[in-house]
Amino acid sequence: MRFYATRFNTVEVDSSFYALPSDAVVALQTQRVPADFVLHYKAFGLLTGHGVNPDALPKPLRELLPANAQKYTRLNDRDISDEARRLAFRMFAGAMRPAQAAGKLGCLLFQFPPWFKPETKSLDYLELCQTELPGFNLAVEFREPSWMTGAQEAATLKFLAERGLTYVSVDEPQFDPPTTVPPVYHATTPVAYIRLHGRNKAAWNKRGITAAERFAYEYTQDELFDIAGHVKDLSVNADQTFVMFNNCFRDYAVNNAMIMMEILKS
C-alpha cells in the first residue's frame, strides 16, 4: 500500500466485496497512505444481492443463518434474513470508521448485479442502503442496461441526484441488442466516479473464466484520449473526479492509469 501510494493518490479496495473487512485492517490501510490519499471500498456482496460463501461470514452473521445454510457453498439473497442484513450493514459501517475519521474515505461502491432491475423494490433498496449507512457517500453501479436506456436514463439519474447518490459511469463492452450499461458520463453528486472495465467482448459473457480473464483488455492511447475528454467534461462541475481502472489483467490497469494521468495533466 505504501509503494502504491507513491504512484497514485486513490485506490478502490475490492477485497471488501468478498468478505467483510475489519476496522483493524482498514485502520492499517489508512495509516499507510498520505493525508491527501482517498480510499474507496466496494460494498460486501451480501449487501448488493450477490451470492456469498458462508465460510467468509464472521461468526455473528453465521449465527443468524438458517439451520441448513451451512450445507451451501453459496448463499443467495433469499437465504439472508433482514436481521442478518442489518447486522452486515452495521459491521461494514463500523469497519469504515477509521478511514472516515482520518478524512481519507471516498465512496462506498455498490455494484449491483444484472438481476437488479429498475423497479420499485430496487429503488426501495437503494434508499434502504442510504438509511443503513448514514454519513457515507454511496456510489451506485448498475450492470443491467435498462437502468440507462431510453426514458429510464433520465429517471435513474434524477432518482440518484435527488437522494445524493453518486452515479458510477462505466466503460465496458457494448453488444447489439444491449446487454451491458452504455457509457453515459454523468455526475449526480459533487463526486464524479468512472470505472473502466475494458472492452473484451469475447470474454465478457464467457463462463468458467477468472475475473482477470474477463477484464483482459488494454486500452489504446486513442481510446484513453477519448475517455479523458469525458473525464475533463465531468470534472468541470465536480468537486472530485475519480477514474478507476478495473481491467485487472497483468499490468494493464497500472499502465493505462499512468497514461491517463499524463493525458489529464496536458
Q: Predicted confidence band at 3 (pLDDT cuts at 50, 70, 90)?
A: very high
Q: What percent of the chain has pLDDT over 90?
A: 87
Question: What was the pLDDT predicted at 64?
Answer: 87
Distance separating alpha carbons of residues 242 and 40, to the nearest angstrom: 10
Residue 28 pLDDT exceeds 70: yes
Distance separating alpha carbons of residues 55 and 74, to the nearest angstrom: 9
Question: What was the pLDDT predicted at 155?
Answer: 98
Residue 9 pLDDT exceeds 80: yes
Q: What's the one-letter identity of residue 191?
A: V
Q: Predicted confidence band at 70 (pLDDT cuts at 50, 70, 90)?
A: low
Of 16-25, 51-60, 144-153, which gets the smallest average pLDDT?
A: 51-60
174 Cβ contact list (under 8 Å, min separation 6): 180, 182, 183, 199, 201
Q: Predicted confidence band at 79 (pLDDT cuts at 50, 70, 90)?
A: confident
H or E segment and range at residue 121 = helix 120-132
Averaged confidence pLDDT in the chain? 95
Average pLDDT for residues 15-20, to the nearest whole number?
Answer: 94
Beta bridge mates, 169: 194
Q: Would the CA dihedral through 13, 19, 20, 23 be positive or negative? A: negative
Choose among 81, 97, 96, 91: nearest CA to 58: 91
Q: Cell numbers at residue 101, please?
A: 475519521
Distance separating alpha carbons of residues 96 and 39, to the nearest angstrom: 10
Average pLDDT for residues 60-79, to the nearest whole number?
Answer: 78
Distance separating alpha carbons of residues 142 and 158, to the nearest angstrom: 15
Question: What was the pLDDT predicted at 68?
Answer: 73
Q: What CATH superfamily is the domain 147-266?
A: Protein of unknown function UPF0759 (3.20.20.410)
Distance separating alpha carbons of residues 39 and 213, to the nearest angstrom: 25
Listed in order, strand segments (DSSP E) in 43-190 are: 105-111, 137-141, 166-171
Domain boundaries, the chain: 147-266
Question: What was the pLDDT predicted at 13?
Answer: 97
Per-residue burial over 183-202, b if 16 or more Cβ lie within 10 Å, else e, is bebbbbbebbbbbbbbbbee
Listed in order, strand segments (DSSP E) in 142-184 are: 166-171
Residue 19 pLDDT exceeds 70: yes
